[in-house]
Amino acid sequence: MPKLSPTMEEGQIARWVKNEGDAFEANETLAEVDTDKATMEMTALSGGTLLKILKPEGDTAALGEAIAIIGQKGEDISALLDEVSKNGASKAADEKPKSVSEPEPTAGGKAAEPTEEVRKEAPAATPASNSYGGRMIVSPIAARMAADNGIDLRTIAGSGPQGRIIKRDIEEALAGGGSKTAAGAKRFTPSTIVGAAGYSDEPTSKMRQVIATRLAESIGPIPTFYLTVEIEMDNVLATRKQINASLEDDAKISVNDIIVKAAAMSLLKHPFVNASYQDKSIRFYDQADIGVAVAIDEGLITPVVRGANLKGLSEISAEIRDLAAKAKAKKLQPEEYTGATFSISNLGMMGIKEFTAIINPPEAAIIAVGASTPTPVVRNGEVTVRNLMHVTMSCDHRVVDGATGAKFLQTFKQMLETPAMMLL
């Protein structure tokens, strides 16, 4: 059973796409597997024949447990079968034919051929992961250069095969460090999740470390505090009405779409809210990847709108519609629900006026959005009715202080009360 989602520990065979005796090409789907998050396609790393299914549909297998035997047609698999029955959850044997249980089928790198022959093409440099079975891989010279220059290798995305950190990466990091002081601009490292926000890790100051430790001791793993703001939504509602007047029914934007956009725009002005506390460093993200909580039958999942600060309302709206539909069908891919930089939970449509949400680590904050309700208010000495919405932000105090959070909410409130601000 290969690892098909970042958090899965076992998988259930939903369906075998290939039957025993079927031949297949590399990258063809062999089976569909229910993981803890979604139904994933398990694809073949290389061509062959499905010789024996060990785990029929409905069966569950732990990671690494043999689920089938593949090899060449007509090959003798009795020895392998013996081994599997003896060891139960045995890893695949080294020689062919082998069980389809070893590496991640989605990872690009093929297993190294035990020959000195040069492969036609060097494996593509994928910054997608700089770990090799969870272990960071670093070339010896890169490791030494990093040590000599006090560079934390965890902050470097390797550009070699399997994410190996190589000399070039250290040289670039060193060059980047130099130009950073020159230009004063943050240097962002690409994320390990495709399409997700890049980040830069800034060393944590002593004061910040002490604050973090003391607050955490006092309240638990994430010292959370809450800030509530009241926002007048009349202008948003009017703007939405104007926009939707010219849109088809299936393309109309929601209030929530505008909230997502406003949050994203505000986050870029308040980097400490678009960040993660990382012990020795604070990780700042270069774009706002907004997690939007979606209720599904079995619970809750938070699909991510990548780079929402860069996207228009229609794009955000269409994306959320699409992600929510996928979430309900359990078809979300891991990269679609992991790696947000900030989250929004909106229970307004369920009549909730005000609530608090739980932070989704390692994000620094989440906002809980209540219903916008017509409320009598005093404006210019007169009592009048306005649509008020209560937003409560849960903040990780290790990175967001009260004033930082309040300033963010001020910007957020301003954006919503004067939607034209979002054009800036």
The answer to whether 110 contacts other proteins (rule: CB under 8 A) is: no
The answer to whether 141 contacts other proteins (rule: CB under 8 A) is: yes
Shortest gap between Cβ of 124 and other proteins (angstroms)? 10
**15 near 31, Cβ under 8 Å?**
yes
**Given 3, 55, 306, 397, the catalytic residue:** 397
| Interface residue with other proteins, options 19, 118, 218, 241 (CB under 8 A) | 118
Shortest gap between Cβ of 192 and other proteins (angstroms)? 19
Shortest gap between Cβ of 140 and other proteins (angstroms)? 5
Q: Which residues contact 269 (CB under 8 A, 6 or more apart)?
A: 408, 411
**302 near 343, Cβ under 8 Å?**
yes
Position 304: which residue type? Answer: V
| Preceding omega of 97 cis (within 30 degrees of 0) | yes
Query: How many helices (H) does the chain have, and how many strands (E)?
Result: 9, 21
Q: How far apart are CA 36 and CA 251, in angstroms?
A: 32
The answer to whether 167 contacts other proteins (rule: CB under 8 A) is: yes
Binding-residue total with other proteins (CB under 8 A) = 20
* Tokens 């774009």, residue located: 287
The answer to whether 324 contacts other proteins (rule: CB under 8 A) is: no
| Catalytic-residue membership of 397 | yes
> Would you say 169 or 396 has its CB closer to other proteins?
169
| Interface residue with other proteins, options 94, 95, 116, 382 (CB under 8 A) | 116
Residue 349 structure tokens: 């449509």
Residue among 25, 31, 23 at smallest CA distance from 54: 31
The answer to whether 125 contacts other proteins (rule: CB under 8 A) is: yes
Task: Select the span of 156-164, 309-317, 374-382, 394-402 touching other proteins (CB under 8 A).
Answer: 156-164
The answer to whether 168 contacts other proteins (rule: CB under 8 A) is: yes
Q: How far apart are CA 157 and CA 74, in angstroms?
A: 44
Shortest gap between Cβ of 98 and other proteins (angstroms)? 22
Residue among 90, 91, 96, 135 at smallest CA distance from 114: 96
Shortest gap between Cβ of 179 and other proteins (angstroms)? 22
* Tokens 């980040």, residue located: 199
> Would you say 122 or 403 has its CB closer to other proteins?
122
**157 near 192, Cβ under 8 Å?**
yes
**54 near 66, Cβ under 8 Å?**
yes
| Interface residue with other proteins, options 74, 140, 184, 299 (CB under 8 A) | 140
The answer to whether 154 contacts other proteins (rule: CB under 8 A) is: no
| Interface residue with other proteins, options 11, 48, 160, 405 (CB under 8 A) | 160
The answer to whether 142 contacts other proteins (rule: CB under 8 A) is: yes
CA 190 and chain centroid, separation: 13
> Would you say 64 or 161 has its CB closer to other proteins?
161
H/E stretch holding 316: helix 313-328
Shortest gap between Cβ of 286 and other proteins (angstroms)? 25
Catalytic machinery residues? 397
Q: Which residues bind other proteins (CB under 8 A)?
A: 115-120, 122, 125, 139-144, 159-161, 166-168
